[in-house]
Amino acid sequence: MKALDRFARLLVDYCTGVKRGDEVLVRGSVEALPLVKEVYKAVVELGAYPRFQFEDEELVEIFYRYAPRELLEYLSPIDKFIMESISVSINIISSTHTKPLIGVDPERFKIRSGALRPLTEIFMRRDGEGSLRWTVTLYPTRSLAQEAGMSIIEYEDFVFKALKLHTSDPIKAWVKQAEDQARIAERISKMSEIRIVSGDTNLLVRVDGRTWINDDGRKNMPGGEVFTGPHEDATEGYIVFTYPAVWRGYEVEGVKLIFKRGSVVEASAVKGEEVLRKALEVDEGARRLGEFAFGLNYDIKRYTKQILFDEKIGGSIHMALGASYPSTGGKNVSAIHWDMVKDMSKAKVYGDGDLIYEDGRFLLEIL
């Protein structure tokens, strides 16, 4: 079986469980057409209706650069209808340019993010209800390979291994990953608070009463994390993130956040601080955590500037400013959901005061 056929079947059969009569929205660039064709074929063979939405970075740049304010503030009823009506969403990240919006005023992103907030809320609600099955994946392109600092062949190998496509039965491999993560999620679900400690970080996050979700690759391919929605008013302390946080094509490096009663009260960055501040001003929810997670995919060993992979790096944690996933019990509402990743190879994590994680791995008694 060809790798792209295994890829498509993984997305259609394992990730989203496409069935007869489903309305399936597939998004991607022209670079992803080889995979799109395989996904399209698999969807049709199951008796579902595929709809392909072409995406192009230059068109996105044209919109953000030239749209008048009233258009930036406009929410299309067609976009709203699609978000409310589709059964399945398969989004294939396949960038042909990784920084198409680098020269656009961040204020325009703030305006547009506010306008699109209802779409985010619909998505979050339907995800919580289980009425929308969705997955996000990535097709290796030259621009993504360059951004990751790899050749196209090296990057394709990296991506396919992270997705377990190099195995004879990727679905079986993901079922095993899911079982391992389920044990971790079950153990930490009994804990009320998590404290992260390292040389530049001392952060307390309350998680009692919240649900830990096992990202087994169904909604993010690759998967490889367990995550929850922290209490919105209880995060205390400070944290410095190891890797650049990418938002709208901007790289924000050396992010440091100080929390008090759940809200960011101080924020700084070595590079891109203005972008960070603009994001925090989008709405009140942008200053609070919507997600806290452990990265557990140890087939991902390096940072690539692509959050779909970086947030799963084995031996990392990540947190998202902004919207919570209702399935976690999180209640934070925002137009943004911005993940930031910290390497934990020289850090410790305590659960209710007991050491549970050290130097990038959970202790054996947790496993």
Distance of CA 250 to the CA centre of its chain: 16
Residue with token string 């656009």: 104
The answer on pLDDT for 367 being more than 80 is no
Spatial neighbors of 287 by CB under 8 A, at least 6 apart, are: 263, 264, 280, 321
Percent of the chain with pLDDT over 90: 82
6-35 pLDDT per residue, tens: 999 999 999 999 999 999 999 999 999 999
> Sheet containing 256-260: which strands, arranged edge to edge?
263-268, 256-260, 236-240, 201-206, 193-198, 348-351, 354-358, 361-362
The first and second tokens of residue 365, run together, are 């008694």
Closest CA to 241 of 297, 144, 307, 184: 307
For 3-170, CATH number?
3.40.1830.10
Q: Are 132 and 68 in contact (CB under 8 A)?
A: no
Mean pLDDT of the chain, nearest integer: 93
Q: Are 217 and 300 in contact (CB under 8 A)?
A: no
97-146 pLDDT per residue, tens: 877 777 788 788 889 988 998 998 899 889 878 899 999 999 999 999 99
Amino acid 32: pLDDT: 94
Three-class DSSP category at 340: strand
- Alpha carbon distances (Å) from 132 to 18, 55, 80, 89, 172: 11, 21, 14, 8, 24
154-202 pLDDT per residue, tens: 999 999 999 999 888 999 999 999 999 999 999 999 999 999 999 999 9
Amino acid at 250: Y
pLDDT bucket at 1, cuts 50 / 70 / 90: low
> Sheet containing 225-228: which strands, arranged edge to edge?
213-215, 225-228, 289-295, 316-322, 337-343
Instruction: Give the helix ranges, DSSP H, for 86-141.
Output: 106-115, 117-129
- C-alpha 272/C-alpha 210 separation (Å) is 33
Residue-range domain boundaries for the chain: 3-170, 189-362
Three-class DSSP category at 133: strand
DSSP 297: B
pTM (2 decimals)? Answer: 0.82
Distance of CA 333 to the CA centre of its chain: 16
Q: Are 41 and 201 in contact (CB under 8 A)?
A: no
Mean pLDDT of the 330-335 span: 92
194-224 pLDDT per residue, tens: 999 999 999 999 999 999 999 999 999 999 9
The first and second tokens of residue 309, run together, are 């992979």
The first and second tokens of residue 96, run together, are 């042909």
Task: Return the HEC string of 181-226.
Answer: HHHHHHHHCCCCEEEEEECCEEEEEECCCCCCEEECCCCECCCCEE
Amino acid 262: pLDDT: 94
Mean pLDDT of the 336-353 span: 95
**Dihedral Cα 126, 297, 139, 212, nearest 10 deg:** 0
- In degrees rounded to 5, what are phi and psi of residue 216? -95, 15
> Sheet containing 23-28: which strands, arranged edge to edge?
49-54, 23-28, 88-93, 133-138
